[in-house]
Amino acid sequence: MNAISRSIKINPYLLFPLLSTFFVVHFLFFIDEGYYSFAWMKSYGAWIVYWIYFGIFFGIQYFMGRFIFKQQEGMLWASLMFFIGLPTAFSLAYTLFS
């Protein structure tokens, strides 16, 4: 019973980049790979590309949150991590894959 009542400590430097990366990459694949459907999920090749994009987007946002904004906390810094990390990830992905 004691284990259930303990609160779980969530690492914001891990949770926020994971959630934002999941939603952004899913949206990109929904509109690009699946042509506004989730049909792309049936293809193994699309999943490989999905995880590559997920790794790039997550890696950049995690790096920014962990190493650049490491002393700051709060929603403002989490938002900055997202709005600076996301364009950086887009530019890196565009540079690598075009």
**Domain map (residue ranges) of the chain:** 23-97
- Segment 41-56 mean pLDDT: 92
φ/ψ of 12, rounded to 5, equals -65, -25
Q: What is the pLDDT of residue 25?
A: 93
CA distance 1 to 86: 41
Burial bucket for residue 13 (CB in 10 Å: 0-12, 13-18, 19+)? buried
Q: What share of the chain is helix, strand, coil (3-state, %, to 5)?
A: 80, 0, 20
Q: What is the pLDDT of residue 67?
A: 81
pTM above 0.85, yes or no: no
| DSSP label at residue 6 | S
In the chain, what percentage of residues exceed pLDDT 70?
88
- pLDDT at position 60 over 80: yes
Nearest Cα to 88, choosing from 66, 62, 70? 62
